[in-house]
Amino acid sequence: MARLSINVDVDDLEKGMAFYAAAVGLRPVRRLGDFAVELAGAEVPVFLLEKSRAAAPFPGGTGGRDYGRHWTPVHLDFLVDQLESALAQALAAGATAESDVQSYEWGKMALMADPFGNGFCLIQLEPAGYAAIGTPL
């Protein structure tokens, strides 16, 4: 089985640490040189990687990184106990709400963006969670 870690590019490491600590309670546990920090408090380690706006997104890539709001098919979902209080906490930390709270059979969620343009969701599951709509494979 593969192990998972999450890497989030930010253009300001100190601002990134402050945001993710205030917004969702992640805490710095290890600095990796002057370009990265490991955050704990999620079920997997989260690494913030400081990358300048001018840095190519991959070897041979053209253009720099986009820290304005951008879309990617991979994003973070933070599962929270109380959506409304988590939403207030994230907004106070500098997140942007991109939707009203949406209710589903499996729970509630709010679509968000961090100050670096990365999308994420806050999700409060009902007791049955995704099993309310899922079928075993």
Express each pLDDT in 46-79 by its tens digit.
999 999 989 988 888 888 888 999 888 888 999 9
**Domain boundaries of the chain, sorted by first residue:** 6-53+75-132
Residue-wise pLDDT tens digits, 84-124: 999 999 999 999 999 999 999 999 999 999 999 999 999 99
Please give the model's pTM, rounded to 2 decimal places.
0.88
6, 45 Cβ separation under 8 angstroms: yes
Q: Residue type at 36?
A: A
Residue 103 phi, psi (nearest 5): -110, 140
Topology at the third CATH level for domain 6-53+75-132: 2,3-Dihydroxybiphenyl 1,2-Dioxygenase; domain 1 (3.10.180)
66, 44 Cβ separation under 8 angstroms: no
Round to whole Å and give the CA distance between 118 and 128. 29
